[in-house]
C-alpha cells in the first residue's frame, strides 16, 4: 500500500536521507503521514516554506536537529501504562516464566523505553514476584531507546508526583524514596536496570531475552520495518520467551513468528525454533533481512560476554561492538564502519588512538588499569586492554579493545585500604595509649615514691612531735612540781610575812630602811605617830620624808650604824607628832643583819613627853 505523500513542497525523502546521513537517525522506515505531521511542526516553527528549505536550515543550524528529534520522537509513557495488560503480565506471564526458569537468570528488554517508567514498572512486578534479594541476584532489565535525552532522564530514575501517580501507594512506599518534591527509584534495585542507546531499525537485537516489552514504538514504523524488527525480536527471545506489545499494536499475520497468549492484552509467545525455520523459509522478507547464521552466532556470542569489546580495522574504522560496548558507550549499528576518531569512545573513557598505535608497534597488548569513567550519576572504573589482532597468517588486521568493569573490585580495594588504614590508626592509637599509660604509670610510680617519702617525713615529724609532746608533758610535770613547791614557799613566805608583820605590828613605831636609806617597812605605830601610811612611804627615800621628825639629824647615826659593823645607836630628837604636839622622840637604830652583813637599819621610835 502506498502512503499519501506530505502536502508541503519539496523533497521529503531527500530530507529523511539527509537526516540519516548527517546524524544517523533513519526515519525512512517510519510511517510517513504521522512523521510528516511532526516534521511539519518544525517547518512551521522555523517558517520554512518546504522540505528543501528546512533541509538547508538544518545544514546551517545543527542545533535544529535536537528540536527535530524531540518533535519526532514522542516520549509519552507512564508507569503501568494500560493497567489491565500489566495485571495480566503480573498474574499470568511472570508466574509462568518463574516456573520455567527455576533459579536461572532472567533477562528482560524494554525497547523504546522513553524515560524509563516501563522498565521500572517491570522491576516492581519482578521484585514483587521474586522478593527483593532474588530480584537483585537474578534479574537484568535492558532499557533502550534512540533518544539520548530520554535515556538520561531514565538513568536518573527520579519522577515527579504527577508521573508517579499510577504507582499504587504501597508500592510507592516500598520502591521509591521521597526527595523534596520528587520520587527516586530505590538505588539498590536501580542497578538491575541498564539503560542504553539502541535503534530498533539499525542495531542488532539483544539476545537470550525472557520477556521482551516493545510498547507503542513499533506503531511508528512502516509495516516492512515492523516485520524486520519483529524478526529481530524473534531472534532476541529465548525459545519460551514472551513478547509484550502496546495496546494498538498487532502482529502482521504474515510473520508467523509469534502466537498470541492473550491477544487482547497483546501478549505473545515465540514460536519455537523448528517452526521458526519454517516461518523464515515462508517469509522471504525475513529471510532476506536475517544475516548469515555464522555472523548471527558470532554476534550473539559476543553479545553475551559481560565485558565490553570493540574491534578496529587496520584503517582505523569501528568494525565491531558487542552489546555490552553498545550499551555502555552509546554505540549503535550505524557507527560500524565509521572512523574511530569521529566517535566519543576514541577519547572517553580514555584516549585510544595512541594506545592502538603503541599496540601495533610493539605487537603486544597495551593495558591500562583503573581508568575512571563518569557514567550517568556515578564514576566507574575500567581496565582497558588494547590488543593487536592478527589474521591466521600472522598479518596485522586491526585492534581489539576490551573494557572490563572493575568498579566492584576497586570499591573492595578501597574498602580494604580504608579498613587497613583504620586498623593502622587503631594500632597507632593503641600504641600511643600504651605509651601514655606507661608515662602515667611512671608518673604514678614517682608520685608514689614522693608520697612514700612524704609519708616517711610525716612519720618522722609525727615521732618528733610525739617526743616533744612527751618532753612537754614531763616539763609540765616538773613545772607542776615547781609550782607546788612555789606555792608551798609562797605559803611559807606569807606565813613569815604575817609573822614579821605581827612582830612589826606589836612593836612601837618602827621603820626599816635599806642601805640606800629607802624605806622598806613602816608599821602601824609609825603611821600612828607620824600620820603617813606604809603605802605613802615604802620605797621613798627616808631623808625626803616630810614628817614631824627632823630626819636630817638621823643621817649621820644611820650611816654610823651602816658603816660600823653591828653597832647600835640611840638618838633623841625634838619632833612634832601627827596631832601637832611637840614631842621628844627616842630613836633607837639597830642594824638589820643577814648572813653577817648589814643590809639596812631598823629605826624604833618612842615618844617621851616633851619637857
Ligand atoms: C511513545 S514512546 C513509548 C514508551 C513506552 N514504551 C510506553 O509504551 O509507554 C515511543 C518511544 O520509542 C522511541 N523510538 C522511536 N524510534 C525508535 C527506534 N528506531 N528505536 C528505538 N526506539 C525508538 C522514542 O524515542 C520514544 O521514546
pLDDT digits (tens, 9 = 90+) for 11-52: 999 999 999 988 888 899 998 888 998 999 999 999 999 999
Q: Whose CA is nearest to atom 11 of ligand 1?
A: 112
Alpha carbons 272 and 50: distance in angstroms, whole number: 49
In this structure, of 354-363, 418-427, 558-567, 585-594, the range with the lowest mean pLDDT score is 558-567
- Which residues have a Cβ under 8 Å from the Cβ of 488 and sit 6 or more positions away? none
Q: Whose CA is nearest to atom 15 of ligand 1?
A: 73
- Strands 237-245, 519-522: parallel, antiparallel or unpaired by DSSP? unpaired
What region does 400 belong to: left with phi over 0, alpha with psi -120 to 50, or beta?
beta
Looking at the CA of residue 202, tell me the nearest atom of ligand 1: 19
Looking at the CA of residue 213, tell me the nearest atom of ligand 1: 6
> Pocket residues for ligand 1 (CB within 6 Å)?
73-77, 81, 112-114, 118, 145-147, 150, 199-201, 215-217, 220, 246
Q: Whose CA is nearest to atom 13 of ligand 1?
A: 112
Please write the tens of the pLDDT for every residue from 47-101.
Answer: 999 999 999 999 999 999 999 998 999 888 999 999 999 999 999 999 999 999 9
What pTM value is reported for the model? Answer: 0.57
Alpha carbons 2 and 138: distance in angstroms, whole number: 47
Cα(359) to ligand 1 centroid in Å equals 41
Nearest CA-CA partner of 578 in 611, 605, 549, 551: 549
In this structure, of 92-101, 250-259, 381-390, the range with the lowest mean pLDDT score is 250-259
Cα(430) to ligand 1 centroid in Å equals 61
Tell me if 561 sits within 8 A of 472, measured CB to CB.
Answer: no
Cα(214) to ligand 1 centroid in Å equals 8
Please write the tens of the pLDDT for every residue from 192-205.
Answer: 999 998 999 988 88
Cα(35) to ligand 1 centroid in Å equals 14
Cα(444) to ligand 1 centroid in Å equals 80
Amino acid at each position: 500500500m502506498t502512503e499519501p505523500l506530505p502536502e508541503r513542497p519539496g523533497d521529503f525523502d531527500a530530507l529523511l536521507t539527509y537526516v540519516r546521513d548527517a546524524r544517523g537517525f533513519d526515519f525512512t522506515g517510519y510511517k510517513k503521514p504521522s512523521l510528516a505531521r511532526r516534521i511539519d511542526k518544525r517547518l512551521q516553527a522555523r517558517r520554512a516554506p518546504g522540505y528543501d528549505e528546512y533541509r538547508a536550515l538544518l545544514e546551517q543550524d545543527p542545533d535544529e536537529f535536537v528540536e527535530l528529534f524531540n518533535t519526532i520522537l514522542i516520549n509519552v509513557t507512564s508507569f503501568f501504562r494500560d493497567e489491565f495488560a500489566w495485571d495480566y503480565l503480573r498474574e499470568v506471564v511472570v508466574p509462568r516464566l518463574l516456573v520455567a526458569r527455576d533459579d536461572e537468570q532472567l533477562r528482560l528488554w524494554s525497547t523504546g523505553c522513553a524515560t524509563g517508567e516501563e522498565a521500572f514498572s517491570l522491576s516492581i512486578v519482578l521484585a514483587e514476584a521474586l522478593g527483593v534479594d532474588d530480584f537483585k541476584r537474578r534479574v537484568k532489565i535492558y532499557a533502550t531507546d534512540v533518544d539520548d535525552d530520554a535515556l538520561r532522564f531514565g538513568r536518573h530514575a527520579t519522577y515527579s508526583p504527577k508521573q508517579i501517580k499510577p504507582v499504587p501507594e504501597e508500592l510507592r512506599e516500598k520502591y521509591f524514596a521521597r526527595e523534596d518534591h520528587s520520587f527516586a527509584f530505590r538505588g539498590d534495585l536501580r542497578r538491575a536496570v541498564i539503560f542504553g542507546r539502541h535503534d530498533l531499525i539499525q542495531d542488532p537485537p539483544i539476545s537470550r531475552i525472557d520477556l521482551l516489552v516493545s510498547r507503542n514504538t513499533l506503531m511508528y514504523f512502516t509495516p516492512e520495518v515492523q516485520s524486520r524488527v519483529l524478526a529481530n525480536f524473534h531472534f532476541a527471545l529465548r525459545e519460551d520467551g514472551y513478547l509484550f506489545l502496546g495496546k494498538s499494536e498487532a502482529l502482521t499475520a504474515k510473520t508467523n513468528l509469534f502466537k498470541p497468549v492473550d491477544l487482547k492484552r497483546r501478549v505473545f509467545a515465540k514460536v519455537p525454533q523448528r517452526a521458526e525455520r519454517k516461518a523464515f523459509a515462508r517469509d522471504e522478507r525475513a529471510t532476506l533481512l536475517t544475516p548469515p547464521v555464522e555472523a548471527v552466532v558470532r554476534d550473539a556470542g559476543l553479545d553475551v560476554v559481560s565485558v565490553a569489546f570493540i574491534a578496529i580495522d587496520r584503517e582505523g574504522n569501528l568494525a565491531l561492538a558487542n552489546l555490552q560496548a553498545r550499551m555502555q558507550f552509546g554505540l549503535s549499528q550505524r557507527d560500524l564502519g565509521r572512523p574511530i576518531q569521529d566517535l566519543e569512545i576514541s577519547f572517553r573513557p580514555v584516549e585510544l588512538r595512541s594506545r592502538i598505535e603503541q599496540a601495533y608497534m610493539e605487537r603486544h597488548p597495551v593495558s591500562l588499569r583503573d581508568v575512571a569513567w563518569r557514567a550517568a550519576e556515578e564514576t566507574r572504573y575500567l581496565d582497558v586492554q588494547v590488543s593487536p589482532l592478527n589474521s591466521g597468517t600472522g598479518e596485522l588486521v586491526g585492534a581489539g579493545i576490551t573494557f572490563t568493569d572493575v568498579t566492584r573490585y576497586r570499591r573492595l580495594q578501597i574498602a580494604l585500604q580504608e579498613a587497613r588504614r583504620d586498623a593502622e590508626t587503631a594500632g597507632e592509637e593503641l600504641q600511643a595509649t600504651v605509651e601514655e599509660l606507661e608515662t602515667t604509670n611512671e608518673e604514678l610510680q614517682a608520685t608514689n615514691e614522693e608520697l612514700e617519702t612524704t609519708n616517711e617525713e610525716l612519720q618522722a615529724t609525727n615521732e618528733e612531735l610525739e617526743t616533744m609532746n612527751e618532753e612537754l608533758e614531763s616539763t609540765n610535770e616538773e613545772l607542776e612540781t615547781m609550782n607546788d613547791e612555789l606555792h608551798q614557799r609562797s605559803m611559807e613566805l606569807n606565813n613569815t610575812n604575817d609573822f614579821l608583820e605581827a612582830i612589826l605590828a606589836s612593836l612601837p613605831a618602827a621603820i626599816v630602811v635599806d642601805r640606800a636609806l629607802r624605806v622598806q617597812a613602816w608599821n602601824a605605830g609609825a603611821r600612828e605617830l607620824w600620820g603617813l601610811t606604809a603605802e605613802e612611804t615604802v620605797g621613798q627615800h627616808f631623808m625626803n620624808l616630810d614628817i614631824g621628825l627632823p630626819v636630817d639629824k638621823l643621817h649621820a647615826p644611820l650611816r654610823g650604824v651602816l658603816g660600823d659593823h653591828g653597832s647600835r645607836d640611840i638618838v633623841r630628837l625634838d619632833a612634832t607628832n601627827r596631832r601637832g604636839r611637840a614631842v621628844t622622840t627616842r630613836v633607837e637604830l639597830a642594824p638589820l643583819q643577814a648572813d653577817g652583813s648589814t643590809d639596812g637599819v631598823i629605826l624604833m621610835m618612842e615618844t617621851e613627853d616633851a619637857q
